Amino acid sequence: MRGCSHHFSILVAFLFVAVGGEAVSGFRICAYNVQKFNSQKAANYKVLHTLTRIISRCDITLLQEVTDTDGSAIKALLSSLNREAQRYEGYHYRSESSSSLGKSPSDMQKYVFIYRTETVNVVDRYQYQNQQQFVRAPLAVHFHSNKTAVKNFILVGLHTDPSNAVKELDRLYDVFKEVLKKWKNKNVMFLGDFHAGCAYMTRHDKKNIRLFTNTSFSWLIGDKMDTTFTDETSCAYDRIVVYGKSFLKAIMPFSARAFNYAQEFKLTRATVLAVSDHLPVEVRLKSSTLLLQATPLLLLVSAVIRSFLSSP
């Protein structure tokens, strides 16, 4: 009897660790303002290596402020991610990019989604057409994944113009209505550098932003979270916002955060600032494989319980 009880305890502990490990990993969605990422910056080995380490953690990453007009910087980044190295073995990465957007030839930027082809694929994409409402109109991408509890979801990337941040944030509600009409899918997430903090967006401004006044939208990165990496600022510029209860339930609780890779990777201040003065923000979706992975273990535990109960 005591032996069966001992084995039962071990198996239960193993089940907890195995299932818990899957729950902790999840499906990670990230957004990062890479601050004028161009071919010259991509040629810097330390910058490219650091970016590769950051992006390889995520199933999907939205990059903002990509300024290379010919796509060579993203090509170099993808080559780094897809190189034959044991650290990143098992995943292949592709990108989905907007055209160059901006109000002047000297400040043209792209949105670039980089994603793992083994865990997610692109169903469709849509560049918001009302260019007058945004300096850099949002790029919406419809994704499908068999690895997540919610199979189909839409990510909308936006890098607001600092001088027009409040108006552009409010206009995201118009973008939401348009992508909802286009794809008939309410699982929508907005993410990017919104300049949604400090002097660019005050507490008073929130009453003029429909993504705040409409309680169906949940702001996962709070106002007090610092998404910058400078001594001069402590601001929640970068945000993640989701619509509706069903998508919110598919998100792992308390997983939204700014990723301080300086601490995680033990990097110097100079190395980090060479990449960006922003930190990546991230959130994790619940995995659809949790129950499937747990089933064999549950059957094994069930067999032990039956044996335990039938023992004299």
198 within a domain of the structure (yes/no)? yes
**Region class of 268: left (phi > 0), else alpha (psi between -120 and 50), else beta:** beta
List, for residues 172-187, the tens digit of each pLDDT value.
Answer: 999 999 999 999 999 9
pLDDT at residue 48 tops 90: yes
116 within a domain of the structure (yes/no)? yes
List, for residues 285-306, the tens digit of each pLDDT value.
Answer: 999 865 444 444 444 444 444 4
CB 97 within 8 A of CB 63: no
List, for residues 80-116, the tens digit of each pLDDT value.
Answer: 999 976 666 679 999 999 999 998 888 899 999 999 9
What is the 3-state secondary structure of 153-196? EEEEECCCCHHHHHHHHHHHHHHHHHHHHHHCCCCEEEEEECCC
CB atoms inside a 10 Å sphere around CB 112: 25
Rounded to an integer, the average pLDDT of 65-71 is: 94
72 within a domain of the structure (yes/no)? yes
Range of the domain at 90: 27-286
Number of domains comprising the chain: 1
83 within a domain of the structure (yes/no)? yes
CATH number for the domain including 165?
3.60.10.10
6 within a domain of the structure (yes/no)? no
307 within a domain of the structure (yes/no)? no
19 within a domain of the structure (yes/no)? no
194 within a domain of the structure (yes/no)? yes
